[in-house]
């Protein structure tokens, strides 16, 4: 299996590619446009993709779905079948208006779900599902995708927060949609990958308290740092207690957004201190940040914009790995 974290700036687009009995298959987790382009659609064009096993929207925020309608329309135009379309926004429609701080985003989301239903009726999408806890896809004999979140706990908390904030702060209501974020486990042999989208601390507290034995007892070989490296979503207790490979890759999907300033240097430092090796898709916002793994011995050299060694560590780029026989390998 190949896992590609696309460089889409502040947001997520992750592509999985693997073999099944029926040939080469593709899975897509989130789809974001950047500067007018759609890296996921371009990836499908470049690889002449003729079928998609799943498209999954991790949660209803614009930086995770802004390119999704275009993706569905591309599949319709090219007659690309989608076996599973899944999303976590299956709640009471009255709450749709609280996903975003503006009506435009909610309108795009409504168009996405309308299009998905159209494609299901036409037969292009085979199944529409909701990846709540224990939702599972058998990718092939060797790989399984299992959703660990959202659970009933996160969904109830989402309703509670929106009901509390809707007369106080639309921004807080929108931020509450992070509670609907998927946490996905992909298993192979005695190892697994953990993809966390924008999951909240409450989710990681639950996983740490109740799921370590049931779901997280194998070896972690690759993970996604939650919410683009935000300090508000960082829960070190879980990450420290997981059994993991040495220098386990921890990938940050982030962009050059001064208003967010992701990733937070304290989060990067914390993951490093716990034995993870940081990868990121972006240029960092501060001189002490970095994109690719960089050793302590060259930190002082970063002020030199012309140093070839520094330049190779400061390139905005996809981050790609292979996951085979329980082992992770970076693709250079």
The DSSP code sequence of 86-149 is EES--S-GGGGGGSSSSHHHHHHHHHHHHHHHHHHHHTSEEEEE---TT-EEE-SSS-EEEEEE
Range of the domain at 6: 2-331
- Cβ atoms of residues 32 and 57 within 8 Å: no
d(CA 95, CA 235): 28
Band (257; pLDDT cuts 50, 70, 90) = low
- pTM assigned to the model: 0.90
More confident residue, 294 or 185: 185
Band (295; pLDDT cuts 50, 70, 90) = very low
d(CA 250, CA 195): 10
Residue in 145, 329, 143, 332 with CA at minimum distance from that of residue 247 = 329
Band (291; pLDDT cuts 50, 70, 90) = very low
Say what the pLDDT of residue 258 is. 58
Q: Model confidence over 156-173: pLDDT tens digits? A: 999 999 999 888 898 999
Strand ranges, E, within the chain = 2-5, 14-20, 23-29, 51-57, 81-87, 125-129, 136-138, 144-149, 183-188, 191-195, 219-224, 248-252, 276-280, 319-324, 327-331
Band (3; pLDDT cuts 50, 70, 90) = very high
- Report the number of distinct structural domains present in the chain: 1
Say what the pLDDT of residue 101 is. 86
| Angle 100-105-110 from CA coordinates, rounded to 5° | 105
| Mean pLDDT, residues 283-287 | 44
- Cβ atoms of residues 25 and 17 within 8 Å: yes
- CATH code for the domain of 62: 3.60.15.10
Has residue 43 got a pLDDT over 60?
A: yes
pLDDT above 70 coverage of the chain, percent: 88
**Mean confidence (pLDDT) of the chain:** 88
- Cβ atoms of residues 225 and 196 within 8 Å: yes
d(CA 329, CA 332): 9
Instruction: Characterise 43 by phi-psi region: left (phi > 0), alpha (psi -120 to 50), beta (else).
Output: alpha
| Mean pLDDT, residues 204-219 | 96
Say what the pLDDT of residue 283 is. 56
Decide: helix, strand or coil at residue 17. strand
Q: Model confidence over 95-116: pLDDT tens digits? A: 888 898 888 888 899 999 999 9
Q: For residue 171, what are the contacts with CB-CB under 8 A and spacing of at least 6? A: 101
Say what the pLDDT of residue 9 is. 86
pLDDT above 90 coverage of the chain, percent: 73
């Amino acid at each position: 299996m190949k896992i590609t974290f696309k460089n889409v700036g502040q947001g997520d687009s992750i592509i999985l590619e693997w073999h099944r009995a029926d040939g080469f298959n593709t899975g897509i987790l989130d789809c974001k446009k950047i500067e007018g382009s759609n890296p996921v659609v371009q990836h499908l064009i470049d690889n002449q993709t003729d079928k998609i096993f799943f498209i999954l929207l991790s949660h209803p925020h614009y930086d995770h779905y802004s390119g999704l309608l275009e993706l569905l329309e591309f599949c319709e135009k090219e007659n690309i079948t989608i076996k599973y379309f899944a999303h976590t926004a299956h709640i009471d429609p009255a709450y749709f208006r609280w996903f975003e701080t503006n009506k435009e985003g909610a309108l795009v989301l409504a168009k996405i779900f309308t299009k998905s239903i159209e494609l299901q009726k036409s037969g292009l999408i085979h199944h529409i599902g909701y990846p709540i806890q224990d939702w599972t896809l058998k990718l092939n004999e060797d790989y399984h995708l299992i959703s660990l979140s959202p659970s009933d706990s996160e969904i109830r908390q989402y309703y509670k927060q929106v009901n509390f904030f809707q007369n106080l702060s639309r921004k807080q209501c929108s931020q509450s949609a992070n509670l609907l974020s998927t946490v996905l486990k992909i298993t192979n042999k005695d190892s697994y990958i953990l993809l966390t989208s924008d999951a909240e601390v409450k989710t990681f507290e639950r996983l740490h308290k109740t799921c370590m034995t049931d779901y997280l007892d194998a070896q972690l070989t690759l993970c996604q740092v939650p919410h683009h490296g935000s300090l508000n979503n960082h829960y070190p207790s879980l990450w420290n207690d997981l059994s993991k490979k040495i220098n386990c890759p921890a990938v940050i999907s982030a962009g050059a957004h001064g208003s967010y300033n992701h990733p937070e240097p304290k989060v990067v430092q914390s993951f490093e201190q716990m034995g993870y090796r940081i990868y990121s898709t972006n240029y960092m916002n501060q001189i002490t940040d970095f994109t690719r793994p960089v050793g302590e011995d060259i930190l002082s050299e970063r002020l030199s914009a012309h140093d070839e060694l520094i330049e190779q560590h400061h390139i905005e780029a996809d981050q790609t790995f292979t996951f085979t026989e329980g082992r992770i390998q970076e693709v250079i």
